[in-house]
């Protein structure tokens, strides 16, 4: 038996197909196709959790996505647990473990419920007021306690073992919602030849036909019509029907994000399937057919388990074959609850009374109630309810006073009318408009290429909805360019239950006094009195009321609460409702998992990892890698028994004594080609390029408009009209963009083109006294003698039989070469060079050694020794600024008063008095360590290393007027001591530079 409340012969599920699941450890049986909500109610369970703030017992309110209360932790195993799943959406699968949340030690007895008694402390805006003093207590005491007590659900700590898919798709027409209107629009668009995507958040299409069993279309039930229409759509090649798929975000230019729950309902999902799919749809036209959501009635204690929406009760009965209770009371302001009452009564459920706030009722409804023997209390209210873990009775009377009566019930269904679901429309940036006739907000002007149809557009009559949607679907197809000729006619006849009648705000029984809890927003525990309090405390804008009370700010996005909250605020303010205004709906429409949003971008696909052609060799030779942007660069090559310090010392020594090989492939490279190439570089660099002969190269500095150093690198002139520009590794993409920006916007008259060649060339730096000896046997067609190929020259020839651009240059201060070869040959050429180098006693060295060696020579690293506020003069690079050029980027910036004023920080060298002390990079520098705190800081350390070649530590620093302080003593105060340093120049080795030319 799949639950005592299952009614034989009712519902659309197959009684023989049962599945087993547990709820808080208790084994239960459901039918295949049940939502957890239906399965629990079938088993007589309404109590599913405790509320957010007051820990009040709560149960299912709805049978749909709007569910604010029944948030359940759903698990398959330890790693596959999802908190805060709506019981009304989650389908039961065999073996499912469902757990209630926000309760301790048990659901029925929850210690946190003391919050309910202490509720005066937790009035609206309590966190702005209650915990203000003492200040420190908020962080250490109040916030942790409030968070622990208020939290909803617990996320799993295990890594997510599932995968998630992403699909970017394009279509002519996207239809959001598979109810009557959506199906009609989709059929019309599809028959007109458009490519169509139809999505619906439920397992089956049919929308309101889940509950409205009276609906008839062309003689068949609405449900059967919907299933036939869906089958027809599925059979068409130009249509994709996505069920269990929620449109949750409507972005710019008809970019709509859908999430499909692929395996959440399966007992043993195929591991090849993604758990969820994110569909990022770009549609030419969008048809919004999102229907309407029923509102609850706002009255005292309207949140007890067993009190739920009338349409939900009708869905449980007509779709799942489940009665929500044995004695069901009805409290309504809308005809649709009557239909539920009639269905329940006919299914053998006792309906003691229909309480309708409206004094004048449709005679046909009254006649039908009489016929079925249901008592009707017109113009009356449910003033209160009783029952702790399940509703037991309702107190009925007139709002104006007089006698009251208690009626025993075990469930209470309610309807305050229907709110058009304008979420998608609002997300598309459309502004809702108040319709005075029907007293509701409806879509106004559509600002994107979309249209709203059916109930979400305020169309109540089924035949009108079908016809209007079909017209809209055809129009959308045509607007999207579909040229099909087959017309699809909307069904000729359609009837459905009446949805007439509506009330907004507090009903009789919501009380004016401050002790009554008449809930407006169940998920955030906001009551009618909270909203009145917010207005009394000066919140006059609905946006302020919303934030002060948190009404509508929970994950349910105020689907049931927004209109009630607005109406109560309007009434308290004494203003007409449309003047108070509606808040904007935000994405996501319903909660979306991080897994779906992140989808492929995890693990190695979180971000590209870039490796050079020589990476494999480096790895095999024990390199430790460091991340430089997305690149993996060999950092140092420890030999057995060496730590980093020892390895770097050895590498530094070996390069200066013998030679070293260094992988410089990550350097940015740009080929600048055209007759105006030199003229262009003159404008982009501070240096002058006119006199650089083909075959020579030069160090260049690039500034931003503001006169600060942007990048640097060596530029080789390959031909009159062709330059090989190098940039820093990190600067490669932005330098190309910077150049391209100027070329296209400022210098479009120049005949020059820029092409990134960063990855065309593998670059092997061979540096040290034996560099020439290493490369010489492998090089063909280039005279390597000092006379033929001096320092700062470039030649084209072959190495190991492949073409090379061979640079004679140095970032170490040693004589050296940078061997550029086409990247696919990089590994082979490296290995050939290594075969030459190793027998000579040379080493492979990494970025750390490169950093130390360049610091020994005082070569700057842009981004380390500069920080975007350093001019060429600050860095001691004035020699690289052409004095006679009329213009280059940054020339005016460099002349700004602040940039030429005395007192600027200048790059200098620092030597610690104690040569064994290595300064910390970033450490601050002061002139007088005895001054009171806070001290006047005159600079900071930018680079600092131990150098084996100098036998001591060295550092570079930016110090105010630093160059004038040479020989002076400064101080670096550290937490444990103050370090004495002497200001020097920045070159620590081979000050004359003779080694370069060796």
List residues near another protein by CB under 8 A.
Answer: 163, 165-170, 195, 272-274, 277, 280, 282, 600-601, 604-605, 607-613, 631, 671, 673-675, 751-753, 755-761, 777-778, 780, 798, 800-802, 821-829, 831-832
Residue 40 vs 672, nearer CB to another protein? 672
Return the residue matching tokens 């019930």: 409
Residue 40 vs 765, nearer CB to another protein? 765
Q: Shortest gap between Cβ of 828 and another protein (angstroms)?
A: 3
Tell me whether strands 697-703 and 793-799 are parallel, antiparallel or unpaired: unpaired
How far is residue 117's CA from residue 888's CA, in Å, rounded to a whole number? 74
Q: Shortest gap between Cβ of 812 and another protein (angstroms)?
A: 25
How far is residue 383's CA from residue 57's CA, in Å, rounded to a whole number? 19
Q: Shortest gap between Cβ of 415 and another protein (angstroms)?
A: 39
Q: Shortest gap between Cβ of 306 and another protein (angstroms)?
A: 41
Residue 613 vs 858, nearer CB to another protein? 613
Residue 285 vs 385, nearer CB to another protein? 285
From 21, 98, 76, select the one nearest 268 (Cα to Cα): 76
How far is residue 448's CA from residue 987's CA, in Å, rounded to a whole number? 63
Other beta carbons within 10 angstroms of residue 240's beta carbon come to 19
Q: Shortest gap between Cβ of 863 and another protein (angstroms)?
A: 20
From 453, 511, 486, select the one nearest 178 (Cα to Cα): 453
Residue 830 vs 845, nearer CB to another protein? 830
Residue 20 vs 722, nearer CB to another protein? 722
Residue 671 vs 921, nearer CB to another protein? 671
For 426, the enclosing helix (H) or strand (E) is helix 423-427
Question: φ and ψ at 533, to 5 degrees?
Answer: -60, -40
Residue 154 vs 802, nearer CB to another protein? 802
**What residues are paired with 256 via a beta bridge?**
250, 281
Q: Indicate the SS3 state at residue 911.
A: strand
Residue 517 vs 669, nearer CB to another protein? 669
**CB burial of residue 561 (10 Å; 0-12, 13-18, 19+):** buried
Q: Shortest gap between Cβ of 864 and another protein (angstroms)?
A: 23
Q: Shortest gap between Cβ of 799 and another protein (angstroms)?
A: 8
Tell me whether strands 353-356 and 375-378 are parallel, antiparallel or unpaired: parallel
Cβ(862)–Cβ(854) below 8 Å = no
Cβ(984)–Cβ(908) below 8 Å = yes
Q: Shortest gap between Cβ of 279 and another protein (angstroms)?
A: 9
Q: Under the phi-then-psi rule, with left for phi > 0, alpha for psi from -120 to 50, and beta for the rest, what region is 403? A: beta
Q: Shortest gap between Cβ of 975 and another protein (angstroms)?
A: 41
Residue 610 vs 885, nearer CB to another protein? 610
Q: Shortest gap between Cβ of 924 and another protein (angstroms)?
A: 38
Residue 71 vs 821, nearer CB to another protein? 821
From 494, 429, 425, 421, select the one nearest 461 (Cα to Cα): 494
**What residues are paired with 817 via a beta bridge?**
766, 808
Residue 285 vs 311, nearer CB to another protein? 285
Residue 44 vs 822, nearer CB to another protein? 822
For 336, the enclosing helix (H) or strand (E) is helix 335-346
How far is residue 453's CA from residue 704's CA, in Å, rounded to a whole number? 54
DSSP structure string for 503-563: --SBPTTS-SSTT---EEETTTTEEHHHHHHHHHTT--SHHHHHHHH-TT-STTTTTTTHH
Other beta carbons within 10 angstroms of residue 645's beta carbon come to 13
Residue 284 vs 559, nearer CB to another protein? 284
Please give the C-alpha separations between residue 204 and each of 164, 278, 784, 786, 791, in angstroms, as whole numbers.
22, 19, 77, 81, 76
Q: Shortest gap between Cβ of 199 and another protein (angstroms)?
A: 14
How far is residue 815's CA from residue 246's CA, in Å, rounded to a whole number? 65
Cβ(217)–Cβ(469) below 8 Å = no
Give the angle subtended at the CA of 45 by the CAs of 44 and 47, to the nearest 5°.
Answer: 150
Token pair of 450 as six digits? 């979309």
Question: What are the residues whose beta carbons fall under 8 Å from the beta carbon of 932, sequence distance 6 or more?
Answer: none
Please give the C-alpha separations between residue 100 and each of 106, 114, 305, 583, 713, in angstroms, as whole numbers.
9, 18, 14, 31, 63
Question: What are the residues whose beta carbons fall under 8 Å from the beta carbon of 746, sequence distance 6 or more?
Answer: 683
Q: Shortest gap between Cβ of 258 and another protein (angstroms)?
A: 12
Residue 336 vs 593, nearer CB to another protein? 593
From 598, 229, 556, select the one nearest 419 (Cα to Cα): 556
Q: Shortest gap between Cβ of 193 and another protein (angstroms)?
A: 12
Residue 715 vs 752, nearer CB to another protein? 752
Q: Shortest gap between Cβ of 718 and another protein (angstroms)?
A: 11
Cβ(614)–Cβ(830) below 8 Å = yes
Q: Shortest gap between Cβ of 628 and another protein (angstroms)?
A: 12
**CB burial of residue 536 (10 Å; 0-12, 13-18, 19+):** exposed
Q: Shortest gap between Cβ of 274 and another protein (angstroms)?
A: 5
3-state secondary structure 599-667: CCCCHHHCCCCECCCCHHHHHHCCCEEEEECCEEEEEECCCCCCCHHHHHHHHHHHHHHCCEEEECCCC
Q: Shortest gap between Cβ of 630 and another protein (angstroms)?
A: 8
Residue 778 vs 950, nearer CB to another protein? 778
Task: Give buried/exposed letters for 942-978 (b at 16+ CB in 10 A, else e).
Answer: bbbbbbbbbebbbbbbbbbebeebeeeebbbbeeeee
Q: Shortest gap between Cβ of 626 and another protein (angstroms)?
A: 16
Residue 114 vs 802, nearer CB to another protein? 802
């Amino acid at each position: 038996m799949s639950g005592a409340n299952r009614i034989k012969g009712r519902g659309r599920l197959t009684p023989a197909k049962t599945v087993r699941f547990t709820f808080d450890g208790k084994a239960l049986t459901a039918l295949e196709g049940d939502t957890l909500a239906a399965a629990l109610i079938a088993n007589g369970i309404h109590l599913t959790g405790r509320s957010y703030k007051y820990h009040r017992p709560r149960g299912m309110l709805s049978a749909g996505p709007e569910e604010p209360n029944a948030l359940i932790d759903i698990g398959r195993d330890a790693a596959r647990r999802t908190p805060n799943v709506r019981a009304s959406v989650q389908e039961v699968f065999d073996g499912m473990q469902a757990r209630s949340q926000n309760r301790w030690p048990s659901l029925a007895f929850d210690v946190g419920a003391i919050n309910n008694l202490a509720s005066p402390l937790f009035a609206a805006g309590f966190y702005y007021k209650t915990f203000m003093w003492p200040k420190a207590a908020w962080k250490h005491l109040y916030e942790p306690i409030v968070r622990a007590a208020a939290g909803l659900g617990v996320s799993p700590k295990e890594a997510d073992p599932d995968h998630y898919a992403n699909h970017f798709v394009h279509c002519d027409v996207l239809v959001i919602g598979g109810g009557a209107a959506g199906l009609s629009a989709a059929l019309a668009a599809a028959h007109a030849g458009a490519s169509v995507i139809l999505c619906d958040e439920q397992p089956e299409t049919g929308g309101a036909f889940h509950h409205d069993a009276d609906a008839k279309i062309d003689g068949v039930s609405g449900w059967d019509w919907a299933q036939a229409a869906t089958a027809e759509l599925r059979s068409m090649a130009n249509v994709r029907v996505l069920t269990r798929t929620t449109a949750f975000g409507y972005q710019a230019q008809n970019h709509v994000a859908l999430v499909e729950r692929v395996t959440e309902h399966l007992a043993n999902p195929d591991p090849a399937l993604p758990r969820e799919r994110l569909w990022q749809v770009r549609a030419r036209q969008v048809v919004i057919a999102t229907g309407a959501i029923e509102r609850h009635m706002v009255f005292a204690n309207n949140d007890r388990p067993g009190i739920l929406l009338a349409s939900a009760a009708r869905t449980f009965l007509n779709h799942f074959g489940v009665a929500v209770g044995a004695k069901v009371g009805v409290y309504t302001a809308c005809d649709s609850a009557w239909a539920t009452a009639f269905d329940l009564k006919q299914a053998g459920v006792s309906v003691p009374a229909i309480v309708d706030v409206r004094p004048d009722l449709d005679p046909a409804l009254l006649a039908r109630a009489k016929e079925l023997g249901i008592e009707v209390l017109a113009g009356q209210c449910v003033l209160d309810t009783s029952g702790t873990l399940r509703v037991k009775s309702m107190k009925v009377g007139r709002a104006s006073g007089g006698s009251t009566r208690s009626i025993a019930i075990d469930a209470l269904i309610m309807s305050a009318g229907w709110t058009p679901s304008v979420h998608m429309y609002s997300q598309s940036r459309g502004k809702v408009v108040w319709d005075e006739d029907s007293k509701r907000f409806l879509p106004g002007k559509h600002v994107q290429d979309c249209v709203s149809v059916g109930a979400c557009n305020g169309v109540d009559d089924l035949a009108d909805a079908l016809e209007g949607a079909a017209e809209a679907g055809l129009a959308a197809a045509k607007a999207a360019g579909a040229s099909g000729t087959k017309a699809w006619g909307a069904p000729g006849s359609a009837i459905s239950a009446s949805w007439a009648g509506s009330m907004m705000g507090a009903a009789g029984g919501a009380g004016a006094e401050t002790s009554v809890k008449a809930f407006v927003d169940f998920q955030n525990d906001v009551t009618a009195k909270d909203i009145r309090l917010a207005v009394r405390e000066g919140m006059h804008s609905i946006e302020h009321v919303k934030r002060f009370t948190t009404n509508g700010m929970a994950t349910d996005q105020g689907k049931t609460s927004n209109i009630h909250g607005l109406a109560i605020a309007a009434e308290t303010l004494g203003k007409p409702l449309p003047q108070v205004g509606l808040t904007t709906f935000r994405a996501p429409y319903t909660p979306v998992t991080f897994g779906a949003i992140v989808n492929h971008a995890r693990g190695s696909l979180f971000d590209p990892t870039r490796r050079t052609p020589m990476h494999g060799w480096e790895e095999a030779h024990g390199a430790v890698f460091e991340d430089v942007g997305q690149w993996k660069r060999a950092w140092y090559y420890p030999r057995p028994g060496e730590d980093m310090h020892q390895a770097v010392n050895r590498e530094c020594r070996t390069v200066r004594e013998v030679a070293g090989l260094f992988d410089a492939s990550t350097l940015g490279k740009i080929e600048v080609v055209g007759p105006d190439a030199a003229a262009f570089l003159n404008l982009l660099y501070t240096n002058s390029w006119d006199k650089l002969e083909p075959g020579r190269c030069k160090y260049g500095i690039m500034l931003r408009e503001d006169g600060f150093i942007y990048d640097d690198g060596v530029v080789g002139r390959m031909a009159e009209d062709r330059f090989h520009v190098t940039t820093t590794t990190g600067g490669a993409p932005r330098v190309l963009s910077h150049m391209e920006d100027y070329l296209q916007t400022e210098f479009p008259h120049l005949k020059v083109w820029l092409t990134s060649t960063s990855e065309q060339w593998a670059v092997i730096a061979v540096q040290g006294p034996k560099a020439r000896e290493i490369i010489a046997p492998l090089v063909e067609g280039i005279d390597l003698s000092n006379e033929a190929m001096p320092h700062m020259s470039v030649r084209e020839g072959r190495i190991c039989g492949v073409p090379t651009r061979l640079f004679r240059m140095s970032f170490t201060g040693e004589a050296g070469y940078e061997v550029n070869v086409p990247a696919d040959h990089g590994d082979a050429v490296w290995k050939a060079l290594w075969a030459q180098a190793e027998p000579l006693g040379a080493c492979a060295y990494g970025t750390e050694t490169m950093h130390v060696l360049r610091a020994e020579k005082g070569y700057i690293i842009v981004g380390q020794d500069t920080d975007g506020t350093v001019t060429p003069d600050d860095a001691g690079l004035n020699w690289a600024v052409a004095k006679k050029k009329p213009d280059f980027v940054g020339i005016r910036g460099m002349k700004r008063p602040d940039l030429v004023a005395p007192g600027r920080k200048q790059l200098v060298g620092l030597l610690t008095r104690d040569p064994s002390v290595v300064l910390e990079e970033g450490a601050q520098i002061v002139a007088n360590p005895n001054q009171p705190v806070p001290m006047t800081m005159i600079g900071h350390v930018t680079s600092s290393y131990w150098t084996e070649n100098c036998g001591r530590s060295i550092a570079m620093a930016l110090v105010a007027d630093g160059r004038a302080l040479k020989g002076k003593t400064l101080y670096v105060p550290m937490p444990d001591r103050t370090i004495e340093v002497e200001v020097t120049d920045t070159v620590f080795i081979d000050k004359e530079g003779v080694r370069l030319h060796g």
